[in-house]
Amino acid sequence: MEFVICGLYFSSVMAHTKAAGSTRLGRDSQPKYLGIKLFAGQIAQPGSILVRQRGTKFTPGKNVRRGSDDTLYSIAKGIVQFATRKMQKFDGNKRLTKVVNVVPAK
């Protein structure tokens, strides 16, 4: 399709397919499966994961250690217990913290 306006030559090209474009949405991350894995009263073996978390919502107590990704795991066989404890932060403020303990079974 060609046409002339005031001595200027124009060419009009029509698209034969509609432009699809790209979306800025459509991304999603894989689920992380965080949370409590062994509840109070359940038996934990050495190395059992007790809590998968980001940050320290739960802190380790007796017979519990914290992994590099803040996962809490048992280091002894026993029964899982949850408690709260007042902890002092670095700025001097005190806060209630949830503590996970593994008490050796009798």
Structural domain boundaries in the chain: 33-106
Q: Is the dihedral of CA 69, 75, 81, 82 positive or negative?
A: negative
pLDDT at 3: 63
In terms of Cα–Cα distance, which of 63, 67, 46 is closest to 100? 63
In terms of Cα–Cα distance, which of 52, 53, 48 is closest to 64? 48
From CA 74, how far away is CA 65, in angstroms rounded?
A: 6
Q: Is the pLDDT of residue 7 over 70?
A: no
How confident is residue 23, by pLDDT bands cut at 50, 70 and 90? confident
pLDDT at 26: 82
For the stretch 35-88, pLDDT in tens is: 999 999 999 999 999 999 999 999 999 999 999 999 999 999 999 999 999 999
| Topology given in CATH for the domain delimited by 33-106 | OB fold (Dihydrolipoamide Acetyltransferase, E2P) (2.40.50)
Q: Token pair of 79, please?
A: 């029964």
Adjacency order of strands within the sheet including 64-66: 35-36, 49-52, 72-74, 64-66
Q: Is the pLDDT of residue 21 over 80?
A: no
